[in-house]
Amino acid sequence: MTEFNTRLVHGPAQNDNQTGAVNVPIYTSTTYRYPKIGASVQYDYGRSGNPTRQYLEDQLAALEHGTRGFALSSGMAAIHTALAIFKAGDHIIVGDQIYGGTFRLLNQFFKRWGLNATPVDTRNPAAIEKAIQPNTKAIYFEPVTNPLLQVTSIKAVADVAKKYHLLTIVDNTFLSPYLCQPLTLGADIVIHSATKYLAGHSDVSAGAVITNDEELGKRLYFIQNALGAVLSPEDSNLVRRGLQTLSVRMDRQQANVKAIIAHLQPLSAVKKIYYPGLSGQPGYETLSSQAKGAGGVLSVELSDDVDAVRFVNSLQLFQLAVSLGSVESLVELPSKMSHAELSPTEQLKAGITPGLIRLAVGIEDQRDLIADLDQALAKAR
């Protein structure tokens, strides 16, 4: 059982000789009986270990080619857990286009405890090298960024990191282990907002941290257990269940994205499309050497004669909501929503124009999605 699609469906072998259940039960018990005093037991308390969560954690580790996985209560809890291994006085380098919540965690939370971060354009290894300080401990980035889908080479960053004995930490949310396995490209820690593709149904908030290093695994476990941001057994089961359809969902999402792009590209209402999964797009060569695809998110810059607000409000199937990676299609207007905190000048500098729309494409029939985009474009011109 070595092929990825098989591992998605089956996960680590279960030996439930009591009932023969094919799937791991949802263990809600918070505490576990000791057979006798001094006995060594696998599970004693739900925060420290839970069989349902453990199943998911083992599966996450296997899918990412890691040795240990950790399931947390949200993507931010996963990022918090991974960064909590550092100490006051440490420094990390972070991608300058990473998720805003991660910046908030660094600037509002960790900074007070003396952990400093320098944002750099991680597409440029020389810029990373220039930012390294004597106390630098790690490089943290997203290989495909939000919403402009800029591509950073995981291998190139990991090469720099190895040269300077730094850790490479990759937020792999946008690609998932189906498309990309950063640990095989030199990364040390992989993070997911499992709320997105891994769970895939907009019904769970969850995060994951995976490593292939025994020592890092111990440090991460200490944090997970001591800080207690663990994923509940019900949600562990829902993520496990979501993983079983990860590849069929993402195949359909990517096919839908390509059909949408083929339809939109010739239209005068569309100025520019951002999607590194198609040849000719920036980052395509790098991404295709490290990943099997670019996922289900694309961004579209509408022409100046299209009213972006009207367009977004007119969509029927694409729901105006945050998040991504799910079975249903979603739309977001970065300049007014996710990146609203930036000034207009800062927005333009970052490439967030007023006409930029982010689509998170689901698994609906592509003809219905295209018809929805067409009717909204017609209303917005």
Name, in order, each residue with C-beta under 8 angstroms of 362's C-beta and a sequence gap of 6 or more: 253, 256, 296, 326, 327, 328, 329, 330, 369
Binds another protein (CB under 8 A): choice among 9, 113, 133, 164: 113
Is 99 an active-site residue?
yes
| Given 7, 47, 219, 272, the catalytic residue | 47
The residues that bridge with 300 in the sheet, in sequence order, are 273, 357
Binds another protein (CB under 8 A): choice among 7, 25, 96, 101: 101
Is residue 327 part of the contact set for another protein (CB under 8 A)?
no
Closest to 176 (Cα-Cα) out of 199, 203, 158, 150: 199
Is residue 31 part of the contact set for another protein (CB under 8 A)?
yes
Is 121 an active-site residue?
no
Is residue 323 part of the contact set for another protein (CB under 8 A)?
yes
Query: What is d(CA 359, CA 314) in angstroms, rounded to the nearest whole number?
Result: 14
Q: Which is nearer to another protein, 28 or 124 (CB)?
A: 28
Taken in order 121, 122, 126, 132, is the CA torsion positive or negative?
positive
Q: Is 282 exposed, middle or buried (0-12, 13-18, 19+ CB in 10 A)?
A: middle
3-class SS of residue 378: helix
Q: Which is nearer to another protein, 188 or 235 (CB)?
A: 235
| Given 171, 188, 235, 372, the catalytic residue | 171
Q: Which is nearer to another protein, 109 or 284 (CB)?
A: 109
Closest to 205 (Cα-Cα) out of 100, 76, 295: 76
Is 130 an active-site residue?
no
Is residue 74 part of the contact set for another protein (CB under 8 A)?
yes
Residue count, binding to another protein (CB under 8 A): 69
Q: What minimum distance in Å lies between the beta carbon of 78 and another protein?
A: 8
- H or E element in which residue 302 lies: strand 297-302
The label of the residue with tokens 């941001």 reads 229
Name, in order, each residue with C-beta under 8 angstroms of 330's C-beta and a sequence gap of 6 or more: 318, 319, 320, 321, 322, 323, 324, 359, 360, 362
Q: What minimum distance in Å lies between the beta carbon of 86 and another protein?
A: 7
| Given 27, 55, 99, 275, the catalytic residue | 99
Query: What is d(CA 140, CA 142) in angstroms, rounded to the nearest whole number?
Result: 7
Is residue 263 part of the contact set for another protein (CB under 8 A)?
no
Q: What binding mask, one character per residue, do residues 35-64 give for another protein by CB under 8 A, x or -?
A: -xxx-----xxxx-----------------
**In contact, 233 and 28? CB cutoff 8 Å:** yes
Is residue 72 part of the contact set for another protein (CB under 8 A)?
yes
The sheet carrying 330-332 orders its strands as 270-274, 297-302, 356-360, 330-332, 319-320
Is residue 341 part of the contact set for another protein (CB under 8 A)?
no
Binds another protein (CB under 8 A): choice among 312, 317, 357, 363: 312
Q: Which is nearer to another protein, 88 or 248 (CB)?
A: 88
- Chain centroid to CA 45: how far? 29
The type of residue at 127 is: A
Is 171 an active-site residue?
yes
Q: Which is nearer to another protein, 179 or 315 (CB)?
A: 315
Binds another protein (CB under 8 A): choice among 5, 129, 133, 228: 228
**Contact residues for another protein (CB under 8 A)?**
28-34, 36-38, 44-47, 72-80, 84, 86-88, 101, 104-105, 108-109, 112-114, 195, 199, 202-205, 207, 222-223, 225-232, 234-235, 238, 309, 312-313, 319-323, 326, 330, 333, 336-337, 340
Q: Which residues carry out catalysis?
A: 47, 99, 171, 196
